Amino acid sequence: MSQHFKFIETKIDGLYVIERNLIKDDRGFFSRFFCAEEYKELGFSKSIKQMNHSLTKYKGSIRGMHFQNSPYSEKKIVSCIEGKVFDVAVDIRKESPTYLHWYGEVLSADKGSSLYIPDGFAHGFQTLTDNCQLLYIHSEFYKPDAEGVLNAFDSKINITWPLDVTEMSDRDRNSALID
């Protein structure tokens, strides 16, 4: 059992919310962000191959739903370090009983939580405030030829986005629907 993190199971097997133990005082707080030994509990036993940082300027923007195809599928830990987002993971493991089910979690800089996304999931988010920054930890290197995109508005997934969409890339908006 971890002393620095609380791993909370979601309704989808393998997908977890991670709450960091924030040690607070008058100056602010301190928390452990990642620990390879403790994250083994979740199945994150590979080394970190890549870390990415994104800024999304406008409230209501959607980024996603992105994934890497096998053999380059990846485990991800997603954290909001400024602002607030509605973070979403979609199970795209065809053999899974929760295939095409989605889970959404509000992540914010103040909340001190992350979403652990295992192999076989698409990921995206909608900003709930302006100027949102996310930090992503990846178990694999990004391979452009292995990238896939689900349409964030596909009725077969039926994600309930909390806000009207203000911004979205053409690639994400025009990605194909599931057959």
58 classed as catalytic: no
| Domain presence at residue 23 | no
Residue 2's pLDDT is 67
pLDDT in tens, 7-39: 999 999 999 999 998 888 999 988 888 988 899
Annotated catalytic residue within 4, 72, 136, 142 = 136
| Domain presence at residue 21 | no
Collect the ranges in the chain with pLDDT lower than 50: none
103 classed as catalytic: no
| Domain presence at residue 36 | no
Listed residue (74, 177, 69, 58) closest to 126, CA to CA: 58
| Domain presence at residue 167 | yes
| Domain presence at residue 24 | no
Residue 33's pLDDT is 86
Count of domains observed in the chain:
1
For residues 131 and 83, the answer to whether their CB atoms sit within 8 Å is yes
Q: DSSP string spanning the chain?
A: --SSEEEEE-SSTT-EEEEE--EEETTEEE-----HHHHGGGT--SPP-EEEEEEE-STT-EEEEEEE-TTS---EEEEEEESEEEEEEEE--TTSTTTT-EEEEEEETTTTEEEEE-SSEEEEEEESSSSEEEEEEESS---GGGEEE--TT-TTT----SS------HHHHTPPPP-
Annotated catalytic residue within 66, 72, 101, 142 = 66
| Domain presence at residue 131 | yes
| Domain presence at residue 135 | yes
CATH number at residue 152: 2.60.120.10
| Domain presence at residue 178 | no
- The answer, as to whether pTM is greater than 0.75, is yes
Full residue range of the structural domain in which residue 138 is found: 48-173
pLDDT in tens, 39-51: 988 888 888 999 9
